[in-house]
């Protein structure tokens, strides 16, 4: 079992581009059955399928599945909740990029994945690690508190040790669980940070009036600028956790 810090080279700002570096852990040869859990637009599903593996992309967003089917009509996609996988020992590999941090009930998620895997099957996943986007989260929590509302953390971003223990408890044998920084430029230049907050912390912003929302966005930008602004774009402190584990 490998557990260490690792800094990755700078890459472009596309989730799927980052996800490609995770592919090295997946056997994509013909005959392999792969589940792409949380496939989004299906771009990584297509990469997983390029060598002839039998790949199914699933996502709980109907909108994403429509996009994936439109972009990759030759591939199989289904609208399915990761916490309700209708599979029993069907897949050689479950692959998941940038999804686990959205699912706080990780024990349930791992139990579903375990059931979907064949005996000895492999889980390959990457998602937010502890301290992921810490600067923005802390700035948002402080601004929210100043305006009378406590920010409740919704993302599941564990340390490698915590996730290792969860894998063991779910009867996986971890081969590697490691974390690394992934400095990530936000698209949108000077507005990039507020776009991110409006998109991903939408439900935390919504309880405030429009004018307070605007104040919060400005306060978050002001707090983050000294650390994240490089003169032309915000570079956000993403931290990733990458794990490879086998079903016991």
The residues of the shown chain that bind ligand BEZ, judged by CB under 6 A, are 98, 101, 128, 132-133, 155, 200, 238
95 or 238, CB closer to ligand BEZ? 238
Rounded to the nearest whole angstrom, what is the least distance from the CB of residue 199 to ligand BEZ in the complex? 8
**Which residue lies nearer to ligand BEZ by CB, 13 or 28?**
13
Query: DSSP 3-state helix, strand, coil percentages of the chain (rounded to 5)?
Result: 40, 25, 35
- For the bound state, the minimum distance from the C-beta of residue 55 to ligand BEZ, rounded and expressed in Å, comes to 22
Q: Would you give the DSSP letter of residue 111?
A: H
Measured from the CB atom, the residue of 93 and 132 that comes closer to ligand BEZ is 132
Phi, psi of 214 (to 5 degrees): -60, -45
Locate 91 and state its tokens: 């897949």
R_g (Cα) of the chain, nearest Å: 19
Rounded least distance, CB 133 to ligand BEZ, Å: 6
**CB of 96 or CB of 98, closer to ligand BEZ:** 98
Between 101 and 247, whose beta carbon lies closer to ligand BEZ?
101
- CA-wise closest residue to 65 among 77, 53, 80: 77
Nearest to ligand BEZ of 90, 191 (CB atom): 191
In eight-state DSSP terms, residue 4 is -
User: Based on CB atoms, which residue is closest to ligand BEZ, 42 or 128?
Assistant: 128
State in angstroms the smallest separation of the CB of 35 from ligand BEZ: 20
Tell me the residue nearest to ligand BEZ as measured from the CB. Answer: 128
Q: Minimum CB separation from ligand BEZ for residue 18, in Å?
A: 9
Helix (H) or strand (E) holding 119: strand 117-128
Cα dihedral sign, 101-103-105-111: negative
Residue 197 beta carbon to ligand BEZ: minimum distance, rounded to whole angstroms: 10
Q: How far apart are CA 116 and CA 122, in angstroms?
A: 10
Q: Sign of the C-alpha dihedral, residues 11, 15, 16, 22?
A: positive
**C-alpha separations of 91 from 21, 47, 161, 236 in Å:** 21, 17, 27, 35
């Amino acid at each position: 079992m490998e557990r260490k810090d690792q800094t990755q080279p700078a890459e472009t700002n596309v989730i799927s581009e980052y996800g490609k570096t995770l592919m090295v852990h997946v056997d994509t040869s013909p005959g392999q059955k792969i589940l792409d859990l949380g496939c989004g637009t299906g771009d990584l599903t297509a990469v997983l399928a390029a060598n002839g593996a039998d790949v199914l992309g699933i996502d709980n967003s109907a909108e994403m599945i429509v996009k994936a089917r439109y972009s990759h009509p030759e591939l199989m996609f289904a609208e399915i909740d990761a916490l309700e996988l209708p599979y029993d020992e069907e897949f050689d590999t479950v692959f998941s990029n940038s999804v686990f941090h959205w699912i706080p009930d990780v024990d349930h998620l791992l139990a579903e994945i375990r059931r979907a895997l064949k005996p000895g099957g492999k889980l390959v996943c990457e998602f937010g690690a502890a301290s992921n986007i810490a600067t923005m989260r802390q700035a948002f929590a402080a601004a929210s508190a100043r305006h009378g509302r406590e920010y409740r953390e919704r993302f599941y971003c564990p340390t490698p040790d915590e996730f290792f223990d969860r894998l063991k408890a779910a009867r996986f044998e971890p081969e590697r669980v490691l974390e690394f920084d992934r400095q990530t430029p936000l698209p949108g230049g000077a507005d990039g940070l507020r776009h991110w907050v409006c998109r991903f912390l939408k439900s935390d912003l919504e309880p405030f009036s429009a004018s307070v929302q605007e104040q919060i966005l400005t306060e978050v930008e002001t707090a983050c600028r000294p650390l994240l602004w490089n003169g032309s774009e915000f570079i956000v402190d993403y931290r990733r956790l990458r794990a490879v584990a086998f079903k016991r």
